Amino acid sequence: MHEQLSFADVDGGAALFGEVPSRYDDISLFDATLVVVDLETTGGSPVDDRITEIGAVKVRGGEVIGEFATLVDPGMPIPPQIVSLTGITEAMVHDAPRDSEAFLSFLEFARGSILVAHNARFDMGFLRRCAERLHVRWPFPAPLCTVTLARRILSRDEAPSVRLSALAELFDVTVRPTHRALDDARATVEVLHRLLERVGNQGVRTVRELASYRSESASRLAAKRHLGESLPTRPGVYLFRGPTDEVLYVGTAVNLRRRVMSYFSGTDPRRRMSEMVRLATRVDHVECAHGLEAGVRELRLLAAHAPAYNRRSTQPRRGWWLVLSTERFPRLKVSRSPTDQSVGPFSDRMVAASVGDLISVGAGLRTCATTGRGATHHWCRPDSSGRMIGGCRAASPVPVTLTEYAGRVMKARAVMLGDCGDIVERAIAEVSRLATAEMFESAARQRDRTAAMIDTLARCQRLRALCVVAELVVARPHDGGGWELGVIRHGQLASAGLARRGVPPMPVVEALVAGAQTVNPGVGPLCGAPPEEAALIYRWITEPGARIVSASQPLTLPAHGAARRLDWSRLAREARR
């Protein structure tokens, strides 16, 4: 049965419900009438989607005094994924009341109550939209949200998630949520009562006190709000500083004030952040022209200060590189320091060694350490079966002369620079061969090593292409109009600015170039640029809308680079998952 209630004059409904209360009355929680409501809908947008079911439970003094439930004809198709989630089909709502009728029935049921919902913003958005379409004044004060209450009352250790199903499991309630409106409303009632039990001994007695409740930890965070109140609303970098003026944390924001103020709300899921904010005594900031400058400054500040509460980018130059040794018969070695003949960086030494072995196999480079400085040839004999498994990758039945070996070095250097793709193609073919031979474990290992080789080679080759350019000036459209500008020298941001709407950009470009930082190329394939900064700049200049204003030389990727095989690498990673 569907509850139904007719109203002769819909527009007159506003007088029926009176003025909209602007705030909670100071009413006891025991005496307050609460209506816990849950909706099922055709989707997540109150504008484009419609309600398919309303369920509500009225409680007072901890007792259930009434329930309301009705299916609703949304007047539109119900998407298959929603049918799968809720079990509500179009046949079930065929003869149900339309949302206007169901909404007015709900208003009559809930009149004079305080609404409660789990994720109240979602449910109230749909209900308020119904009121707007019917020109009915919204008669309720701000709702209580059990998501907000749970996050304020429960610690993150106790409740890592505040989804209704997770809280129902935590409190072991008798009615479990089923994605049907009345069941979920009943579950929310039990969750609400368990939350009220947690704060009852902390002096929370009224609806107003409950709505404004903050745990002791959240209150300590809120007391630090003054640290961010004077910050500008522009993009930039912020630095939380501790009692001895040490930098605790560095971050970037498109709106400095809004981002920093969010740390004092107590809603950040990272427990370390609450600890950091409690230690903070000051927040410094650096205003930036746009997001790229903010990102680069953040990386440089992280490298300079290595803040205790940042987990990434505090050691931007720390990584592993594959380098060609300077020996008479060179081999690939894993090193902390890059050279001009190197590939990287790798975050894992073992991955670097594995990729080095794969290139050595393809090029025939030695992997032994037996050839001396004055040697005129290299000779590692294969085993009795003629194989070199586990041995030197340059093993051969006859000695290899210096001239012959030089060709192998050139082949390895060519694949590292992207001048030749033969080694990559051979490695991919080997994966197919092993799979065809049903050697699946070996094929999987070869696949993973080959994917790692392609990813690292492609990344290093495109960053090298950027870093060898002495000067590159790039412009990108700014969201508010005008142009974001960057002067890049050898893969590092030398200057940044903004030509606002209506301002001729070229004079701004000329001023930025004239005042840009001097960057001398350093050692290594990236000319000394920190890899993370070069990667950030590369993404910025290759996003849609970016335009090259000027360049000292062409920005070109190698014709036979590993980027041609990135699709294969992506599919290989997906297969591994």
**Does 114 reside within a domain?**
yes
Whether residues 40 and 139 share a domain: the answer is yes
Total domains, the chain: 4
One-character DSSP codes across 325-347: --SSS--EEEESS--SSEEEEES
**Could you report the per-residue pLDDT of 141-166, keeping only the tens digit for each?**
888 899 988 888 887 767 888 899 99
| CATH number for 183 | 3.30.420.10
Residue 22 is predicted with a pLDDT of: 43
Of 464, 494, 511, the one marking the end of a domain is: 464
* Phi, psi at 410, each rounded to 5°: -60, -35
Confidence tier at 6 by pLDDT (50, 70, 90): very low
Is residue 571, in this structure, part of any structural domain at all? no
369 and 439 assigned to the same domain: yes
Which helix (H) or strand (E) segment holds residue 352: the answer is: helix 349-363
Which 3 state secondary structure label does DSSP give 228? Answer: coil
pLDDT of 314 higher than 80: no
**Does residue 24 carry a pLDDT above 60?**
no
The predicted-structure confidence for 82-96, as pLDDT tens digits, reads as follows: 999 999 999 999 999
Identify whether residues 424 and 515 lie together within a single domain: no
576 domain residue, yes or no? no
Are 416 and 440 part of one and the same domain? Answer: yes
Instruction: Answer yes or no: are the C-beta atoms of 314 and 307 closer than 8 Å.
Output: yes
Q: 46 vs 208, which has greater pLDDT?
A: 46
In a domain, 566, yes or no: no
Phi/psi region, residue 556 (left: phi>0; alpha: psi -120 to 50; beta: rest), is: beta
Three-state secondary structure readout of 28-73 = ECCCCEEEEEEEEECCCCCCCCCEEEEEEEEEECCEEEEEEEEECE
Looking at the fold, whether 416 and 539 belong to one and the same domain comes out as: no
Where is 542: in which H helix or E strand? helix 531-542
- Neighbouring C-beta atoms of residue 522, cutoff 10 Å: 14
Asked if residue 574 is part of any domain, the answer here is: no
Please answer whether residues 355 and 568 qualify as being in contact, where contact means their C-beta atoms are separated by less than 8 angstroms: no
Do 59 and 73 belong together in one domain?
Answer: yes
Q: With respect to residue 18, please indicate whether it lies within any of the assigned structural domains.
A: yes
Contacts of 350-353 with C-beta under 8 Å, sequence gap 24+, read 351/452, 352/320, 352/321, 352/322
179 tagged catalytic: yes
Query: Beta partners for 489?
Result: 492
In the chain, the N- to C-terminal Cα span, in Å, equals 48
pLDDT in tens, 354-398: 888 889 988 888 888 776 666 788 888 776 554 444 578 888 888
Task: Give the domain-ending residue among 464, 496, 529.
Answer: 464
In a domain, 565, yes or no: no
pLDDT band of residue 19 (cuts 50, 70, 90) is very low
CA 354/CA 449 separation, integer angstroms: 7
Residue 301 counted as domain residue: yes
Q: Are residues 34 and 96 in the same domain?
A: yes
Are 21 and 128 members of one domain?
A: yes
Q: Are residues 160 and 294 located together in one domain of the fold? A: no
- Judgement on whether residues 270 and 171 belong to the same structural domain of the protein: no
Catalytic residue among 2, 118, 179, 285: 179
Domain end, chosen from 414, 446, 464, is at 464
Q: Which domain holds residue 126?
A: 1-213
3-state helix, strand, coil in the chain (%, to 5): 40, 20, 40
Same domain, 147 and 284: no
Are residues 451 and 424 part of one domain?
yes
Kindly report the pTM of this predicted structure.
0.63
